[in-house]
Chain A
Amino acid sequence: GENVEQHPSTLSVQEGDSAVIKCTYSDSASNYFPWYKQELGKRPQLIIDIRSNVGEKKDQRIAVTLNKTAKHFSLHITETQPEDSAVYFCAARDTGRRALTFGSGTRLQVQP
């Protein structure tokens, strides 16, 4: 099955700086890679996703890049704000199980 590794586990940045979270996946047939944001005690919410036919996607301050050859994808948040503080999860579609496999999460803390 799919294996997704996510780094770093914690990340602290100053407000206004950029934050980058990286994930690698094992299933070369995976073709869908979403990112979720989970605030404390709340449900995860989809913030951006990318498909394997695209190398980069951007939505305002958030962007995701995908390198299929190296089997890794990254989340980039620019001009971070305190409300960006949360746990972020990457995921990859497991073609064998027809479900998403999630990374272990990154706790992002934006210091004002």
Chain B
Amino acid sequence: SQTIHQWPATLVQPVGSPLSLECTVEGTSNPNLYWYRQAAGRGLQLLFYSVGIGQISSEVPQNLSASRPQDRQFILSSKKLLLSDSGFYLCAWSPTENYGYTFGSGTRLTVV
């Protein structure tokens, strides 16, 4: 069966520090991968999605980036965090774009 791992679970970072969140999927190949952000009490905002290695589509501001160095690995990064980057970051995968997502357990990021 397929599983998705996301870490760390919680993170407190100072403004201006770098960020690296990692997500891996097991038990499938060539998954579609997604990063979403959820502000407190709000909906889900699409940040990035990827349909293959090295293929990244971006929906967000310039201080965040994503990479897919391996088929089942998706990384969210920032060189300098802003206060507004605080939120609940969710990685997700689906076998194709016409199927529902399975979400990772999420990373709660607080920028101080």
Residue numbers of A with Cβ under 8 A of B are: 31-32, 34, 36, 42-46, 49, 51, 89, 93, 97-105
Known A43-B106, A44-B90, A98-B51: A32·B98 in contact at CB below 8 Å: yes
- B51 closest partner in A (C-beta): A98
Known A102-B43, A103-B43, A104-B42: A97·B100 in contact at CB below 8 Å: no
A32-B99, A34-B100 are known; give 8 further A-B pairs, CB within 8 A.
A43-B90, A44-B90, A44-B103, A46-B100, A46-B102, A99-B57, A102-B43, A104-B42
Query: For B36, what are the chain A residues with a Cβ–Cβ distance below 8 Å?
Result: 102
Query: For B59, what are the chain A residues with a Cβ–Cβ distance below 8 Å?
Result: 97
Q: Is the CB of B43 within 8 A of A97?
A: no
Instruction: Tell yes or no: B74 within 8 A of A by CB.
Output: no
Residue numbers of B with Cβ under 8 A of A are: 32, 34, 36, 42-44, 46, 49, 51, 57, 59, 90, 97-106
Known A45-B103, A99-B49, A104-B43: A93·B98 in contact at CB below 8 Å: yes
Query: For B90, what are the chain A residues with a Cβ–Cβ distance below 8 Å?
Result: 43-44
Query: For A99, what are the chain B residues with a Cβ–Cβ distance below 8 Å?
Result: 34, 46, 49, 57, 97
Interface hub of A51, A103, A105 (most chain B Cβ within 10 A): A105
